[in-house]
Amino acid sequence: MDFESSLDYLLDKPIKPMGAVEVNNEPEFQPVISNSETEEFKFDKKGKKVINRLVSVQDITKDLADLKFSDDENAAQLDKVNEVEKPKKSRRNKARGKKDAERGDVNIKATKPSTPQNETTDDVNKDKPLSRRQKEKLRKQKKEQRLKQKEKQESKRENEEKNIQENNQQKNIQENAEDNKQKISENNQQKEKLNENATVDKEKSPFERSSSPEDPFSIKLKSVKVVHSNKKYTERLPKIPPIETIMGLSNDQIYKLNPSDIKLKRIVSQAGKLLGNIINFAMVNEEIFLNEETRTQFTVLCTNIAIFESRGLNKTLKIYPDIIETFSKYDELTLNHNKTKFTKSDKEIHQNNFDYSVLSYVGNIIIWLNSIHDLKISKKLIKGGFGGYHLWDQLFKEESINMKRWKHVIKFREEFPFQPNQFIVVMKFLHIEIS
């Protein structure tokens, strides 16, 4: 459409006043429903021909002919089936949701940076600064762990001591049972011998009274000592567990304690009667043992008596002939302190009033210390006298030990308690170095 034709169109068209509304006087076309298919023509504003096809009833009902409508019963059944299928579908949907969530967690974990297996969360958080509360919690946890460890250690020690005591009791019971069996067998043998003698010599029976009125009680019986003379002792003795007063203190720490220290006073108070007398003697006469000569004389005397008993005095007299005069002054080392009566003897060995139990106990303490700290005492000599490295060690009866000495060793193990803490106190006041 060019410029000239547009001008002609505007000039031919009437001018409308301001605010006027254009009214379309042409009637609107409405579709007419008819039974027959007809066509109607119409022209639009531009003059073009528009075909308006009339809609018939057959056209509307044609699509509805293929549809099938259900009855009320079928509808109710379908509703029930849907109600049953609904929870199944909901379960399936939940399971699918869980699987999707797990897949999402796996993907999230895969995206996270992997930490090494050996590292823990505590190792990762080490670089982060801790707050006061966290520090206090850590301290409390450490304290609790330490207390638990101490309790466990103490319980273990107690259980070990109990087990050792029970084993010793069982061994003693077995030994007593064996001794009783031997006694019974010996008594049976004696009875058999008596029966044999009775059959051989019926006229001179030891259980028949004599016809003479002067000896109305002429029954002869054997002494009881004969029964016990052949008693057998075990040739193997177990270790004796130590009796510790203060746990956790080493020998060096006890040796360096001051005399006024409460720990040392407690150790002294827990000593046995005989060991307490020895500690008091060493504390009172501490100045004597500051002299090296008197100290060596005393240690040699005690060790010889512990190993050789009374013969040990003669051996020390050969080395130190004045040893009786130097140490017989002290009542704690003599029988006067114990208020015991002793009979005089013509033997040179018994020409003194020494209490051998006190000297033997001190000698056994020195020998025990030699097994821990080398005091240059011959170990062969000790083993030949005890069957071990000290009195409370595991002992075996060797060929060099006769039965009398073996009985004395068993007796000393029962009379001298094994108290290592108190032994170190004795060495402290005797000024015998343990390092």
C-beta neighbour count of 47 within 10 angstroms: 6
Helix (H, G, I), strand (E, B) or coil at 395: strand
Instruction: Look at residues 401, 324, 417 and name the one whose alpha carbon lies nearest to residue 364.
Output: 417
Predicted confidence at residue 187, as pLDDT, reads 77
- Please, are residues 219 and 386 in contact by the beta-carbon 8 Å criterion? no
Predicted confidence at residue 392, as pLDDT, reads 96
Longest alpha-carbon distance in the chain = 197
- Please, are residues 266 and 421 in contact by the beta-carbon 8 Å criterion? no
For residues 130 and 140, give the distance between their C-alpha atoms in angstroms, rounded to a whole number. 15
Instruction: Look at residues 58, 56, 63 and name the one whose alpha carbon lies nearest to residue 34.
Output: 56
Predicted confidence at residue 209, as pLDDT, reads 42
pLDDT in tens, the chain (435 residues): 555 556 566 665 555 555 554 555 544 444 444 444 444 555 666 666 655 555 555 665 665 555 555 555 555 566 665 665 556 556 666 666 666 665 655 454 444 444 444 444 555 455 567 788 888 888 888 889 988 888 888 888 888 888 888 888 888 788 777 777 777 877 777 777 776 665 544 444 333 444 444 444 444 444 444 334 445 678 899 999 999 888 888 999 999 999 999 999 999 999 999 999 999 999 999 888 999 999 999 999 999 999 999 899 999 999 999 999 999 889 889 887 766 665 666 666 566 889 999 999 999 999 999 988 888 899 999 999 999 999 999 999 988 899 999 999 999 999 999 999 999 999 999 999 887
- 75 token code pair: 């509808």
Buried b (16+ CB within 10 A) or exposed e, 147-156: eeeeeeeeee
Instruction: Look at residues 7, 12, 47, 42 and name the one whose alpha carbon lies nearest to residue 28.
Output: 42
What residues are paired with 40 via a beta bridge?
52
DSSP state of 331: G
Q: Quote the distance between the C-alpha of residue 365 and its chain's center.
A: 32
DSSP state of 22: -
Predicted confidence at residue 170, as pLDDT, reads 81
Predicted confidence at residue 239, as pLDDT, reads 94
> Global pTM?
0.49
Q: What is the dihedral of CA 16, 20, 24, 25, to 10 degrees?
A: -90
Please name the residue that has the structure tokens 């060019």: 2
What residues are paired with 41 via a beta bridge?
51
Helix (H, G, I), strand (E, B) or coil at 382: helix
Angle, helices 420-429 vs 356-372, to 10°: value is 100
Please state the length of the chain.
435
H helices within 213-352, ranges in order?
A: 225-228, 251-255, 262-269, 273-284, 292-308, 311-319, 323-327, 335-338
For residues 127 and 142, give the distance between their C-alpha atoms in angstroms, rounded to a whole number. 20
What residues are paired with 334 via a beta bridge?
354
Instruction: Look at residues 183, 240, 235 and name the one whose alpha carbon lies nearest to residue 406.
Output: 235
- 241 token code pair: 């567990």
Instruction: Look at residues 300, 305, 298 and name the one whose alpha carbon lies nearest to residue 330.
Output: 298
- Please, are residues 428 and 369 in contact by the beta-carbon 8 Å criterion? no
**Cα distances (angstroms) measured from residue 49 to each of 43, 197, 252:** 5, 168, 130
